[in-house]
Chain A
Amino acid sequence: METKVMRDVFIQQVYYRMRDDRNIFFLCADFGSPKLDKLKEDFKDRFINVGIAEQNLINVSTGLALEGFTVYAYAIAPFLTMRAYEQIRINLSLHAQLREVNVNLVGVGAGLSYDVSGPTHHCLEDITIMKVLPNVEVFSPSDWVLAQGFVDYSIRVKKPKYIRLDGKPLPQIYNSMKDFKIERGFSELKKGKKLCLVSTGIMTHKALQVAKRLSEESINIGVIDVFLIKPLSEASFTKALRKYQAVITLEEGFINNGGLDSLVLQLINRKGIRIKFKNMGFSQRYVFDIGSRDYLHKLNKLDEGSIIKNIKALLRQP
């Protein structure tokens, strides 16, 4: 299983598509990747660095998309989503209700990807604030195979989308995208009894680790990776949840405020699923502590040990 940075794989795949398709633009707000250099070199007329100007990144992308181009707007996730939020709201979310606007917002640095850069670079709000916008889709891959596979979807589905990519190299989870549809939205990576973890992005890696450790103690838990947060295919997700008696959501984001946890909880309520529920993530505090991602997880009780403790407690409940 290969370890790769999803950003690089994604850009490489866009590069291949740009080679065959003259209708693709790639814009960035002075943010790079080793793979971007070649794209920039080979498609001089369709690559633009707009400068450190996220608002203009969205607006120029909108103009290009209104003229029929497929556009990738690439920047650091918190700046892309929060600096330019109103540009996204007006020109993408609102506009997409009236016209076709295929702008793909590619944000790098989901969650604590930029661990030591501090809270300005952390991105713990993006799932919540992007999924509230009508007509905008939200994609949160857990590995580079999904990220790569999303490129075809992003060209085919002509809507604004937010693609939240982790900034760190992560091992492969999925074998290939062959016979795999992004529209499925989630994947039950491990079937279990009684309890399942529902996670997105990097937390799916942690969920798989936890499941592995617990299986050594003969506790079999399920792991569901949600990658298309919006639109979520509700019917099949409900069906998957109904098999379990307890669910724990894991996200590298603020909880109790409209993130992945809210998505699951809302579905449970709406569909009347009888299931015990627990959510894990960050409480309403920014992270000023310095250290590795694992260290920060530990400080915020999102490490494997804490997850296992919560699982066991939930399983003990009558």
Chain B
Amino acid sequence: MHMEMSNQERLFKFLEDKARWVKKETLKIHKAAAETRLASSLSAVEIFTVLYYGRLIRFNAQDTKSENRDRFIISKGHGAISFYPVLADLGFFPKESLSKVCKEGSILGGIPDSVIPGFETINGSLGHGLGVACGVALALKRKKRKETVFVLAGDGELNEGSVWEAIMFAGEHKLDNLILIVDNNKACMLDFCKNIIDLSPLDEKFEVFRWRTKTVNGHNVKELYASLKILKESSGGKPKVLIADTVKGKGVPRLEIDPLSHIKNLRPEEAQGLIVDLE
């Protein structure tokens, strides 16, 4: 018997379909450009998908500097290849560009910068995004604007001292228009994070710096959507962090368990096999 789907269920189905498509496109990009960082891009697929296709971020692909857009600062630039398909699909730049990543004359490199429509800042060096976002959030408050500033950072990136300068600042200045999403994929470049600097329990660290925290399964679109919606709609005088528990290299079994997944590439036929699985 055919069951009637609720609006909500339809949305989640749509988000899941989109996430699968984004993953497939990301693998295609990596297959054509092995220089791209696949594992850290795969951990963030659902985050990008839910933010943009779930319309939790207000954007304008035709006018990327419009005053009433939400700001999205991608501090973990290395892992943003999976954001390219999202932007292309939503009209920020032509879809044909996706086949030219890292190729001569392309605007899409291995690590994205603000030459690409949809990217706000210079990325590639870690630990900058949150501090810049604090400035943007403060500016929006002074201008009495209602937009939200989103930041995506990796958990390994939290080793940078500048991030903690910004965490202290955001708490002190009650930047409740700021949402940090930690792609908690638990791996740096050379090892799992816990073997380098173990930051657990991460949520408690934010809480003592006067942040509101929430932890979700970062591959579950329902959880991501519900939490981000609540965080965006609430004020309360505290900056907010969503700790998205993810798996680095998600969907590629051999990467998921590899402490060196960050620097591992797939052979073209290996990527092709995964692409076919996602068709």
Contacts and interface: CB of A to CB of B under 8 A. Distances in A.
B267 interface: no
Interface of A: 45-46, 48, 50-51, 53, 55-56, 58-69, 86-87, 90-91, 94-95, 98-99
Interface residues of B, number: 28
A63 B132 contact: yes
Interface in B154-184: 161-162, 165-166, 168-169, 173
Contact of A86 (B114, B115, B125): B125
B136 interface: yes
B106 to A, nearest CB: 16
Contacts of B130: 59
Nearest to B141: A45
Interface of B: 113-115, 120-122, 125, 128, 130-140, 142-143, 161-162, 165-166, 168-169, 173
Report whether over half of chain A's contact residues are helix, strand or loop; otherwise say mixed: helix
B165 A64 contact: no
A172 B162 CA distance: 40
B239 to A, nearest CB: 13
B162 A56 contact: yes
Nearest to A95: B122
Given A51-B169, A87-B128, A90-B122, A56 B134 contact: yes
Contacts of A91: 121-122, 128, 132
B134 A63 contact: yes
A291 B114 CA distance: 49
Contacts of B136: 63-64, 66-67
B161 A55 contact: yes
A87 B115 CA distance: 19
Contact of B139 (A58, A59, A63, A87): A63
Contacts of B142: 45-46, 69
B138 A87 contact: no
A94 B122 CA distance: 7
Nearest to A58: B131
Which 7 pairs show the lowest CB-CB distances between chains A and B?
A: A63-B135, A59-B131, A67-B139, A56-B165, A63-B136, A60-B135, A55-B162
A64 B120 CA distance: 13
Given A55-B161, A56-B166, A91-B121, A67 B132 contact: no
Nearest to A89: B125
